[in-house]
Structure 1
């Protein structure tokens, strides 16, 4: 995967994993923040238990303040989030950039996705940071262009 992020990623670890079994998530952080170089849009990966990916659109963008059902985009599991900055789904804007952005996001807790907590069975596919980062880039490209990715296979 070509890395289209800036070097100003802000990684964070904040989820209590004390009861989790060992797995590929052990070497991952719980939050990554960056600006996608290809689109200029702010991006996040945030872990609840599974990883979730988010892309922000600025004021003036046609999708700003639209519901998650409005955009015609393809991303893992479909859009599951659309809201203003709040809680962990927020960013630190660069000087001169707006803070009134609107976040669109998806999660990796769907049927067929492996969940890393102690109560889940060891089945499904774990969607790691590299996978989620690629999906975030795909979402950013679609939001930037206003077009969906018709070549995307959502059954992955």
Structure 2
């Protein structure tokens, strides 16, 4: 992909995408300085067994580059888990030359978020079973 093709793709994708998957709020955000995408899943309620949990304690989660975020977002009372696409081998659009790195686009991040939601649901169910 040339630099012009990448710029056109980024312009077409935009900087944010919000969607719901299996009753979980999902969000893709483009980082303004670097241009890479990050994906986030909001835990539905504060009664969730995962609300307030640090991402580092969820080491069984498999998502691109691993979880790199947990916390609240200013416009939501939910607890969020997230990952970023600025790891070795990822193309960081505003910082890298187009080369061998792979640009992780909105479609890729959306699919990773769906997988993350499925894993979060399973973890929540396992924690509920352990507490009953």
- SS of equivalent to 1:64: coil
Q: 1:104 — aligned with what? A: 81
**How many residue pairs get matched?**
113
Q: 1:51 — aligned with what? A: 37
Q: Report the structure, 1 or 2, having the larger helix content.
A: 2
TM-score, normalised with respect to structure 1? 0.68
Residues 35-114 of structure 1 aligned to structure 2 (within 5 Å): 35-36=20-21, 39-48=22-31, 49-57=35-43, 58-71=45-58, 72-86=60-74, 90=75, 99-114=76-91
Deviations 1:80-121 (A, max 9, x none): 1100122xxx4xxxxxxxx5210000000000001111x411
Where do 5+ consecutive residues of structure 1 fail to align? 1-20, 91-98, 148-156
RMSD: 1.4
1:120 aligns with 2:96: yes
TM-score, normalised with respect to structure 2? 0.80
Deviant stretches of 4+, over 2 Å: none
Q: 1:93 — aligned with what? A: none
Q: Report the structure, 1 or 2, having the larger strand content.
A: 2
CA distance in 1, matches of 2:115, 2:48: 17
Deviations 1:39-64 (A, max 9, x none): 21010000002010000102111111
- SS of equivalent to 2:56: coil
The Cα of 1:66 is off from its aligned counterpart by: 0.5
- SS of equivalent to 1:126: coil
